[in-house]
């Protein structure tokens, strides 16, 4: 499970798995607006991480970011970590 510490949002962390086909699974947000974040987690379940990253990047709430934007940044960090392995 990959863990990302968010910046500028009510949620503090995002946890998720990525399978061999680059599909996202088991997304969990720690902190934040429970109902909205459960909705995001369900909507991205089983979707390709590249599509999710592009779709959610740049969504703004407060502090010039949002939980969806932070999920896109988490995917970017995940991909960078895999490239370094």
What are the strands, taking DSSP E only, across 7-76?
A: 11-18, 24-31
16 within 8 A of 35, measured Cβ to Cβ: no
DSSP state of 48: B
The CA angle 25-19-22, to the nearest 5 degrees, is 95
In this prediction, residue 85 has a pLDDT band, given cuts at 50, 70 and 90, of confident
- The predicted-structure confidence for 5-58, as pLDDT tens digits, reads as follows 999 999 999 999 999 999 999 999 999 999 999 999 999 999 999 999 999 999
Helix, strand, coil percentages for the chain (3-state, nearest 5): 40, 25, 30
In this prediction, residue 82 has a pLDDT band, given cuts at 50, 70 and 90, of very high
Model pTM greater than 0.85? yes
> What ranges do the domains of the chain cover?
2-83
CATH number, domain 2-83, options 3.90.1010, 2.40.10, 3.30.70, 1.10.4160: 3.90.1010
> How many C-beta atoms lie closer than 10 Å to residue 21's C-beta?
8
């Amino acid at each position: 499970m990959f863990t990302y510490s968010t910046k500028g949002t009510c949620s503090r962390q995002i946890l998720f798995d990525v399978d061999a086909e680059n599909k996202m699974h088991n997304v969990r947000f720690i902190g934040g607006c429970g109902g909205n974040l459960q909705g995001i987690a369900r909507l991205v379940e089983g979707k390709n991480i590249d599509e999710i990253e592009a779709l959610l990047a740049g969504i703004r709430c407060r502090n010039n970011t949002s939980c969806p934007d932070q999920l896109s940044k988490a995917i970017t960090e995940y991909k960078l970590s895999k490239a370094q392995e």
